[in-house]
Amino acid sequence: MNQKSAQYHDAILVINCGSSSVKFSLMEPSTGNTILSGLAECLLTDEARITIKEVGSKNVISLTSPFDHKNALSVLVEQLQEKKLVSLIKAIGHRVVHGGEKYAQPTLITSDVKEEIKQLAKLAPLHNPANLIGIEACESAFSHLPQVAVFDTAFHQTMPEKSFIYGLPYALYKQHGIRRYGFHGTSHYFVAKKAAVMLNKPLTECNLISAHLGNGCSVTAIKNGESVDTSLGMTPLEGVMMGTRSGDVDAGIIFHLVEHLGYTIEQVDKLLNKESGLLGVSALSNDCRALEEAMLTNTDETIKKQATLALTVFCYRIAKSIASYSASLTSLDGLIFTGGIGENSDWIRTEIIKQLSLLNFSLCEDKNQATRFGQCGNIASENARACLVIATNEEWVIAEQSTLLLAKAVS
Ligand code: ADP
């Protein structure tokens, strides 16, 4: 064990496998301290690379293509061995996107569980197969360690039927599982728990609306600590507008695109998931920072106007979604902003809150501007309803839940 890691007793390796990336984090579950973390990105392309960070150092390793998830995990294993960190690892916790109705809790991965995750790929074709690749690669690299799945849908399994049923024939739900599931559950759960501490109330008595605004965005209504409604649906396309995803659109547009504009179904899928949202409306970028900069400083009036429009629609749709969730709650302790945009953009927070004065939301601009880049706090003005900025930490939830599950299995 190296000097820096000698202070740690045990750790969970948290793995989040996406379609072309693997995020990883070696974390002490009791404190949330990260011992080592990193990202393998652009897998299966010529730009494949892996960045590994330890406290005080950052190492970028370029990878020779073709480089896939398995190869990336082998590099991680080599690095862990070289740094003498393998003996710290007690289990591997995997973020699994879709757990359907079956998985409302973290679950020890067995061959049956892997089969279910495979079956659920019907509902999450971009995510569950990548998650399975990560699980199988870790099984071969760390055959001696238990593997735990923590599902992104799990927190929302407390939603009542009135929240998750679509206005479609009921048989589609019963026979094919077509219903709303919700995502970002691990993040909404983490920030709700943290909000309870900040509000000095037990989580089971907290009524909150949580806005996770990153590349993907979702709003969740939390009643007595449990999710009762959320804006993402059967897939991560429903709800508010996002970086490249449209969010809610009239489903009739899809018929129009196919029948009158010659789109194929694959092209519609790409349009709604990858070419819409902030990117589509601005015709400039899906990155909120680039759009704010263009809105404030770009000298080309057309670019400036489109960037402003994209951000305005984005904020209005989020404000409407937050207001709509007041119908799911009987009281409201506060609103939470989290995710890359929610945690960092004081401009977006101001724009959203301006439209929610009927719910007694109002910001203290000094606090709003000071609460960024990992700072947490209540940015509401005096006498207004609480508005909390909380840095999310999904990896910590996965590490904590994996440890709890293993402790239960032993006792
Ligand atoms: P993901 O959903 O991929 O985890 P993140 O939660 O990291 O994404 O959020 C990414 C988004 O956060 C991007 O749109 C980025 O522009 C935005 N973001 C990050 N920092 C800032 C900032 N300082 N101001 C505005 N937006 C920011």
pLDDT digits (tens, 9 = 90+) for 17-56: 987 889 999 999 999 999 999 999 888 888 888 898 887 6
> Residue 364: is its pLDDT beyond 90?
yes
> Residue 6: is its pLDDT beyond 80?
no
Return the exposure string of 52-88: e unless at least 16 CB atoms fall within 10 Å of the residue's CB, then b. bebeeeeeeeebeeebbbbbbbebbbebbeebebbeb
Q: Is 172 left (phi over 0), alpha (psi -120 to 50) or beta?
A: alpha
pLDDT at 251: 97
Asked which of 56-70, 262-276, 308-322 is least confident by mean pLDDT, the reply is 56-70
pLDDT at 74: 87
Q: CA dist 68 to 15, 20, 26, 361, Å?
A: 15, 8, 21, 47
Mean pLDDT of 318-323: 98
Mean pLDDT of 73-78: 88
**Residue 410 burial (C-beta neighbours within 10 Å; 0-12, 13-18, 19+):** exposed
Q: Are the beta carbons of 73 and 138 closer than 8 angstroms?
A: yes
Q: Residue 144 CB: number of other CB atoms within 10 A? A: 6
pLDDT at 9: 76
Atom of ligand 1 nearest to the CA of 212: 6
Q: What is the mean pLDDT of the chain?
A: 94
Residue 152 annotated in active site: yes
Of 128, 265, 146, 143, nearest to 183 by C-alpha is 128
Asked which of 51-55, 99-103, 155-159 is least confident by mean pLDDT, the reply is 51-55
Of 409, 406, 401, nearest to 150 by C-alpha is 401
pLDDT at 71: 86
Q: How far apart are CA 81 and CA 59, in angstroms?
A: 16
> Residue 156: is its pLDDT beyond 80?
yes
Q: Which residue from 288, 291, 311 has its CB within 8 A of the most atoms of ligand 1, so it is best to mutate?
A: 288
**Residue with CA at minimum distance from ligand 1 atom 4:** 214
Mean pLDDT of 112-130: 92
> Residue 224: is its pLDDT beyond 70?
yes
- The predicted model scores a pTM of 0.94
Mean pLDDT of 185-211: 98
> Residue 1: is its pLDDT beyond 70?
no
R_g over Cα of the chain: 22
Residue 255 binned pLDDT confidence (cut-offs 50, 70, 90): very high
pLDDT at 118: 96
pLDDT at 374: 93
Residue 269 binned pLDDT confidence (cut-offs 50, 70, 90): very high
> Residue 370: is its pLDDT beyond 90?
yes
Q: How far apart are CA 157 and CA 42, in angstroms?
A: 33
Report how far ligand 1's centroid is from the alpha carbon of 363 (Å). Answer: 21
Q: What angle do CA 151, 152, 158 make, to 5 degrees?
A: 90
pLDDT at 59: 73
pLDDT at 171: 98
Report how far ligand 1's centroid is from the alpha carbon of 17 (Å). Answer: 19
Percent of the chain beyond pLDDT 90?
81
Q: How far apart are CA 34 and CA 40, in angstroms?
A: 17
Q: Angle 394-410/185-199 helices, nearest 10 degrees?
A: 90
Residue 3 binned pLDDT confidence (cut-offs 50, 70, 90): low
> Residue 160: is its pLDDT beyond 60?
yes
Residue predicted with more confidence, 47 or 160 = 160
**Residue with CA at minimum distance from ligand 1 atom 13:** 287
Report how far ligand 1's centroid is from the alpha carbon of 254 (Å). Answer: 29
Cα atoms in the Cβ-side hemisphere of radius 13 Å centred on 268: 16
Return the exposure string of 225-260: e unless at least 16 CB atoms fall within 10 Å of the residue's CB, then b. bbbbbbbbbbbbbbbbbbbbbbbeeeeeebeebeee
> Residue 376: is its pLDDT beyond 80?
yes
Residue 60 binned pLDDT confidence (cut-offs 50, 70, 90): confident
Asked which of 67-71, 197-201, 317-321, 359-363 is least confident by mean pLDDT, the reply is 67-71
> Residue 245: is its pLDDT beyond 60?
yes
> Residue 5: is its pLDDT beyond 90?
no
Residue 64 binned pLDDT confidence (cut-offs 50, 70, 90): low
Q: Is 209's C-beta closer than 6 angstroms to any atom of ligand 1?
A: no
Largest Cα–Cα separation, the chain: 66
Residue 66: is the preceding peptide bond cis (ω within 30°)?
yes
Q: Which residue from 212, 218, 337, 345 has its CB within 8 A of the most atoms of ligand 1, so it is best to mutate?
A: 345
Q: Is 345's C-beta closer than 6 angstroms to any atom of ligand 1?
A: yes
**Residue with CA at minimum distance from ligand 1 atom 12:** 340
Residue 65 binned pLDDT confidence (cut-offs 50, 70, 90): low
